[in-house]
Amino acid sequence: MFSFTRWWGIVLKEFLQLKRDRITFGMVIGIPIIQIVLFGYAINTDPKHLPTAVVMGDHSEFTRSYVAAMKSSGYFDLVAIMPDEETARAALARGEVQFVVSFPADFTRRLLRGERPALLVEADATDPAATGAALASVRELASSVARKDLTGALAPLAGGGLAPFEVRVHKLYNPEGIAQQNIVPGLMGVILTMTMVMMTGLAMTRERERGTMENLLAMPAQPLEVMTGKIVPYIFIGLVQASIILLAALYLFSVPFAGSAVALYAVSLLFIAANLTVGITISSIAQNQLQAMQLTFFFFLPTMLLSGFMFPFRGMPVWAQWIGNALPSTHFMRLVRGILLKGNDWGELWPNIWPLMVFTVVMMTVAMIFYRKTLD
């Protein structure tokens, strides 16, 4: 018959195990808090204050008014005045700015003649969600600037159904705003993160639970030798996965490949190594495979939400961008999109390569600190 006493004893035993398992208890409390904070504060599908550069070919009251109107809209933050369009285009390729606004040298003269001159707004459209709302506002600003500045004797220039000057928008790198061209390259980072961290996260704990850790500890091997020896086989697995994803991107989703295959595989190799060091660190800290899986999920959640894969990166608050920039996936997604869509070279890739190198060295150091040479 059912015994309440035995049942209550089992319940107490489970509570005691949860109390002793601090990682599980931390997941129970931490995951809801992280999700509430991230979704409530960090996630923003209408990003504002996007970095904008200006090429001032013409300095006049009208050009300054248009730039001021862009800043007042809340979508644009003027971060640099570029000397020419070539320098501005390079800043776009490196991801330093989201928009470049170029005024031709004869803009004001043609405006006062009623010739309806054009200014150029170039956008880094690799992520269509980050630029859509901002670009929708730039043409409306032309009419508001005309009503404000073209008064008195210049009032006839502001009349009619058209604005007195034209705003031409060029969406670079993804002109048609195809979502797959942004999502599919990002999927390479997500899939590699999930598989590499999970597989190596179970490496050490599997040795302990199978009872083979004693043999490993008895070997005259240094911690660095053990860890790198466990990592190397998974590097080849990661490269195979990267190749499969790349072929799918090219032939199933027609993602353009504007850059170098050598550069793509080089940064993929570095990113795989970074994630494997995360997994081996988790494996060194965790006591069992359950804890390893919990820590893997704990790392994977911010990677999905704060790397710019699901939501525009620049739409997040500054504190969330700091966290995102500490994650290897954030830099890898920029690298992959830069190579595939922009055709970036090594100079333009370097600002996102060195953080991956630093992250790999730091995580390997942490793993060696937590590596246990005994079973107790």
CATH code for the domain of 143 = 3.40.1710.10
- Check whether 149 has a pLDDT greater than 50: yes
- Check whether 222 has a pLDDT greater than 80: no
- Check whether 344 has a pLDDT greater than 90: yes
Minimum mean pLDDT range among 153-167, 169-183, 238-252, 259-273: 153-167
Instruction: Give the C-alpha separation, 18 to 117, whole Å.
Output: 70
Residues 197 and 281 in one domain: yes
More confident residue, 194 or 217: 194
Q: Is residue 103 part of a domain?
A: yes
The per-residue pLDDT for 193 is 92
State the pTM of this model. 0.84
Residues of the chain above pLDDT 70, percent: 89
Q: Is residue 38 part of a domain?
A: no
Q: Is residue 308 part of a domain?
A: yes
The per-residue pLDDT for 374 is 45
- Check whether 154 has a pLDDT greater than 50: yes
Instruction: Give the C-alpha separation, 200 to 280, whole Å.
Output: 5
Using the 3D structure, point to which of 172, 204, 239 is the last residue of a domain. Answer: 172
More confident residue, 1 or 274: 274
Using the 3D structure, point to which of 172, 204, 234 is the last residue of a domain. Answer: 172
In whole numbers, what is the pLDDT of the chain averaged over residues?
84
Instruction: Give the C-alpha separation, 343 to 286, whole Å.
Output: 41
Domain range holding 109? 50-172
Residues 160 and 60 in one domain: yes
Three-class DSSP labels, 142-173: HHHHHHHHCCHHHHHHHCCCCCCCEEEEEEEC
Residues 203 and 306 in one domain: yes
The mean per-residue pLDDT over the stretch 283-312 comes to 84
Number of domains, the chain: 2
- The edge-to-edge listing of strands for the beta sheet with 99-103 is 76-82, 50-56, 99-103, 118-124, 166-172
More confident residue, 290 or 273: 273
Q: Is residue 306 part of a domain?
A: yes
Any idea how long the chain is?
376
Identify the CA nearest to 202 among candidates 308, 278, 110, 298.
278
The per-residue pLDDT for 108 is 85
Q: Is residue 34 part of a domain?
A: no
Instruction: Give the C-alpha separation, 167 to 124, whole Å.
Output: 17
Cα angle 181-43-197, degrees, rounded to a multiple of 5: 65
Residues of the chain above pLDDT 90, percent: 32
Q: How far apart are the first and last CA of the chain?
A: 41
Confidence of residue 216 (pLDDT cuts 50, 70, 90): low
Residues 126 and 221 in one domain: no
The tens digit of pLDDT for each residue in 2-59 reads 778 877 887 887 778 777 777 666 777 777 777 787 777 777 778 888 999 999 988 8
Minimum mean pLDDT range among 19-28, 56-65, 69-78, 133-142: 19-28
